[in-house]
Structure 1
Amino acid sequence: MRLLPAPSSQSLRLLFLFIFVMGVAPYPALTAGCPDRCVCDDQLVVQCAGQELTLFPNDLPLATRQLIISNNNIGELPALQLNYLSDLVYLDVSNNTLIEISESTFGNLRKLAYLDLSFNTLTQIEDRTFGPLSSLVMLRLTDNLGLNEIHPDAFSENMALQVLDVSRNNLTTLNISSLIALPSLRSLGLSGNPWRCDCETEDLCLWVQIEGFKFQDEGQTVCQGPPEVSGQRLAEVGMQLRADCHQGLGYWDYLFFIAIGFVIFSAGTVSAWVMGVLMVLYERYNKRKGEDMDSDDEEERHMGGGMMGGGHQGNGDLNKAGMQV
């Protein structure tokens, strides 16, 4: 029986080295690369906070689940690079210098549940900015001191949204039509904004009054203007605004009623004309039908009279013939 040769010491060292490397190597998806000045661990978390980054980090592992790039000087989120991270669940971009974001920024982040954009320099939130984020549960937009406009439909597609914080911005009004329709919304932060409590924010004030439990720091959510309500809580002026904003009719209301009256008058006139035409046609039809029936009756009477006359004449002839016989 032939025995195999014993492994050499060099072969054993290579084997042990291979086993060691396989045992301690990080998750395969993360070995594809880790950005400079960032830390990537085997839990699919990439930590780049406070590294004085001015650009979005390159070479991010495609399997990244959490990305933390807060406390840097990043001014833009490049859609092309960000949307490669289709498994991203948690994104913290707070305390940077973001100026704007668009619909394409988060176009492929269907699994993203947490998004923090606070402490940036955003000025407005456009239509469908967060539309692709169908799994978004928590959104923080606080402390963007230049943020003075949020599109009415900015959150209309975020049906999973539970927590929204827009505190400490520069908002004076907020259209709540899409927010009211969100079935999962549980908490909304509004404090620290210079709210103008007039007819434009009437619905917002009433909503705060009716469902105050949904609002963070409701006691600190106060009106900055007009002067007569300055310092009052939004919940305190809701009913007052309802009464003040619906006391009388405005210029456009009168125009609306005039237009509606003209439309109703025109519709009534046209309807009456059509009914008149139809009645005339109906009368003519009935008259013609009656004339036709009268002529038919007259013809029948003439025909009946002729037949009766002929019958009497024949009987007379027969009688005469019988008498002769």
Structure 2
Amino acid sequence: MSLTSAPGPGWLLFSFGMGLVSGSKCPHTCLCQTPEVICTGKQLAAYPPDIPLNTRRLYLDNNRITYLPAMNLGLLSDLVYLDCQNNLIREVMDYTFVGVFKLIYLDLSSNNLTLISPYSFSVLSNLVQLNISNNPHLSSLHKYTFANTSSLRYLDLRNTGLQILDHAAFHHLITLKTLYLSGNPWNCNCSLLDFSIYLIVSHLDQPGEGLTGS
């Protein structure tokens, strides 16, 4: 999938219309203090409706949410901070974050992720910090997963079940400073050599044990 295949103007107009109806409210279980919405630990089984359109920080952590609906999330064009840690999210698709172009901080740690589509983060060119740690069933990442996240400085991949990483996945991360890799069942054979060389020459800060495995 390319960015040109993303939802077009019709989708945006429909989203805008939906926002005029529901964007000024606040989920009854959450706390709304402009520009912040806090839904932490509310036992939510789904993404809450009626998130104000001017929300900049959204806390959905410690719930039972299974997926992030692009239609609703895409209304939050000013969103810069999204905390979804400790939920039951299984997949992140190519279109999930279409509309939240300003996002700087994204936490998807401690979920049930088994799939992150190749272009899931492709619109997040302003993303600085990404945490997908503690997703033990996420066994692989596509080499284009981080292709357009050129502002990324902090990336946490601890305890994700990763066995191999293509070093090409990091070619465009020119601002990356900190990379967490420990706690993964790395398949330490020749296929991991290129990535190991990349880590050596990149001079990245790798707190903890780095590349360890069987």
Given the alignment, which residue of 125, 131, 138 partners 1:134? Answer: 125
Structure 1 partner of 2:66: 75
Aligned-pair CA distance for 1:199: 1.1
Matches within 5 A, 1:90-105: 90-105=81-96
| Greater per-residue helix proportion | 1
Unaligned runs of 5+ in 2: 1-21
CA contact (8 A) 1:193 1:221 kept: no
Aligned in 2, Cα 1:73/1:31: closer, same or farther, shift over 3 Å? closer
* Cα distance in 2 between the residues matched to 1:139 and 1:124: 16
CA gap 1:31/1:83 in 2 versus in 1, 3 angstroms: closer
Query: Which residue in the other structure is 2:15 paired with?
Result: none
The corresponding residue for 1:39 is 31
Match of 1:221 in 2: 210
SS in 2 for 1:46: strand
Query: What are the equivalent positions in structure 2 for 1:119-268 lying under 5 Å apart?
Result: 119-217=110-208, 220-225=209-214
Q: Residue by residue, what CA displacement relative to the aligned partner does 1:87-140 show, whole Å, maximum 9, x if unpaired?
A: 000000000000001111101111000000000000122211100111111000
Determine if contact 1:196/1:223 at 8 Å carries over to the other structure.
no
**Contact 2:164 2:192 (8 Å CA) reproduced:** yes
| Identity within the alignment, % | 38
Post-superposition Cα deviations, 1:160-194, rounded to whole Å, max 9, x if no partner, equal 11111111110010012131332111111100001
> Which of 35, 41, 58 in structure 2 is aligned with 1:50?
41
Letter of the 2:24 partner, please give it. Answer: A
CA-to-aligned-CA distance 1:234-277 (integer Å, 9 cap, x gap): xxxxxxxxxxxxxxxxxxxxxxxxxxxxxxxxxxxxxxxxxxxx
Give the superposition deviation at 1:222: 4.2
CA distance in 2, matches of 1:86, 1:208: 35
CA distance in 2, matches of 1:211, 1:55: 40
How far residue 224 of structure 1 moved from its aligned partner, in angstroms, is 2.4
Structure 1 residues 74 and 47, CA, compared in 2 at 3 Å: closer, same or farther? same
Match of 1:84 among 75, 83, 95: 75
> In the TM superposition, what whole-angstrom CA distance separates every residue of 1:249-306 from its partner, at most 9, and x where no partner exists?
xxxxxxxxxxxxxxxxxxxxxxxxxxxxxxxxxxxxxxxxxxxxxxxxxxxxxxxxxx
Q: Letter of the aligned partner of 1:121 in structure 2?
A: N
Say if 1:136 and 1:31 are closer, same or farther in 2 by CA, change over 3 A.
Answer: closer
TM-score using structure 1 length:
0.57
CA distance in 2, matches of 1:191, 1:35: 38
Counterpart in the other structure of 1:291: none
CA drift of 1:61 comes to 0.3
Residues 118 and 144 in structure 1, CA contact (< 8 A), matched pair in contact too: yes
Q: Which has the higher contact order (CA 8 A, sep 6+)?
A: 2
Structure exhibiting the larger radius of gyration computed from Cα positions: 1
CA RMSD of aligned residues (A): 1.5
Q: Hey, what's the Cα distance between the residues in 1 that align with 2:211 and 2:144?
A: 24
- Partner Cα separation in structure 1 for residue 204 and residue 129 of structure 2: 17
Amino acid at match of 1:37: T
Aligned residues: 193
TM-score, normalising length from structure 2? 0.86
Q: String of CA shifts for 1:40-90, please: whole Å, max 9, x gaps.
A: 013x00000000000101011000000001000000101100100010000
